[in-house]
Every structure is written in C-alpha cells, then in structure tokens.
A and B are shown apart, each in its own frame.
Chain A
Amino acid sequence: DVKVTQSSRYLVKRTGEKVFLECVQDMDHENMFWYRQDPGLGLRLIYFSYDVKMKEKGDIPEGYSVSREKKERFSLILESASTNQTSMYLCASSPLMIEQLNTEAFFGQGTRLTVV
C-alpha cells in the first residue's frame, strides 16, 4: 500500500515561531503537494514539487516555503507563524503526469496546526 506519512497529527505553535511540517512518501512518486483545508474553502494548493529541489507555487504560497532535498520527503515551512495560518495541512504524492496516466494522488492523514 502507498503510504504518505505526516510527522504530526496535531501541533500548537506560538505567533512568530518558525514551523516545519514534514511529509514522507514510500512509493517513489515524483509529485508531492501541500494543501491547507479550511471549512467552506476546500483544499487550497500551497506549493507542489515535481522533482528533487524543484518547487512550484500553488494558489496561496504567501507566508510559506517548501524544501525537497530528497525524493521521498517534502517539507512545508512557515517562516513566522501567524494566527491566520491555523488550519488543517494535507500532504499528497502522485506519479508524474497524473493527467496522462490512469493513476491518482495519495494523501497523508493531515496535521492540524493551531497558532496561538
């Protein structure tokens, strides 16, 4: 089974802290994604990566950065956490060219981050 593992289920951080959310996948997928999920807004794409050291901005990248030093690991970084970044964060992975292959994206369980 494909496994996408997020390092924490719940996190509480203080305003201004630097926060790292880690995601690891075990299926040698090229693509990895970070989303935030908020009620009424669905999943919004923050950043994605299609290869090691490559990254692309999604729809809401402001206030976030990412790192992909190894193929299996994709980190989301909140440089200076703010209360409006309180949310559920979801990581996903998929093979490359998902639109051309009969495949899908696989999701982690999510990290619920609270910034106080």
Chain B
Amino acid sequence: GDSVTQMEGPVTLSEEAFLTINCTYTATGYPSLFWYVQYPGEGLQLLLKATKADDKGSNKGFEATYRKETTSFHLEKGSVQVSDSAVYFCALADYKLSFGAGTTVTVRA
C-alpha cells in the first residue's frame, strides 16, 4: 500500500543553520504531498503542499519540491529560527491521508 518514509530525528540545530528533512514515498497513483507541522502544545497545521510532479510548495521560508523520478518531497529551510522548533510530518494523499513518523526539530539560540 501507499506509505511515507521520513528521516528519523531528533534533529538539533543552531539558529541560522540550514535544515533538510528527507521524505520519500511509495504510491500507486498520483498523490498530493504535504508537510504538516506541530508546534509544542498545538495541533497539526499545514506547512506546505504540492499536488503534482515538479510543483514546489513554500511557506514561512520552507520549501519542498515534488520529485516523481526519485519519489521524494524533502523539506528545506535556509536559515532556521528558534521558533521553528517543532515536529514535522510528511504526508501523502490519495484516497486516504498517510503520514510519516515525524521528525522532531530543536533549534538552539
């Protein structure tokens, strides 16, 4: 069945460092791909999305490109802030919505 494999954490970074979280997927059709974020004590919220191959989603300085040839949707941010500390989930939607295991990111000042 469809699945999402996400880079394991936790990840600890200093402010202004570059962040990459790897995500690969397995799907039989043409899914949409998402990154959701969960800040401490809060619910899940959408960070960015891409609906077809080569689409780039972006929000709050984060970017991810839907790569069909490598079945990947890696999340990147060029310069992280303490406020980016959160758990990040990669997700795939076809007839249902499936999530990766989540990556905990901690940014130190």
Known interface pairs A104-B49, A107-B43, A108-B43; A99-B100 also in contact (CB < 8 Å): no
Q: Which residues of B contact A35 (CB under 8 A)?
A: 99
Expressed in whole angstroms, the minimum distance between the Cβ of B79 and any Cβ of chain A is 26
Known interface pairs A42-B101, A45-B98, A99-B29; A105-B6 also in contact (CB < 8 Å): no
Count how many chain B residues have C-beta atoms less than 8 Å from C-beta atoms of the other chain: 25
Known interface pairs A42-B89, A90-B44; A58-B99 also in contact (CB < 8 Å): no
Q: Is A105's CB under 8 angstroms from B93's CB?
A: yes
Chain A interface bracket (under 10, 10 to 19, 20 to 34, 35 or more): 20 to 34
Q: Which residues of A contact B51 (CB under 8 A)?
A: 99, 102
Expressed in whole angstroms, the minimum distance between the Cβ of B40 and any Cβ of chain A is 13
Listed residue (A35, A98, A99, A108) with the most chain B CB atoms within 10 angstroms of its CB: A99
Q: Is A43's CB under 8 angstroms from B99's CB?
A: yes
Report B87-98 CB contacts with A as 1/0, cut-off 8 Å.
Answer: 001000111111
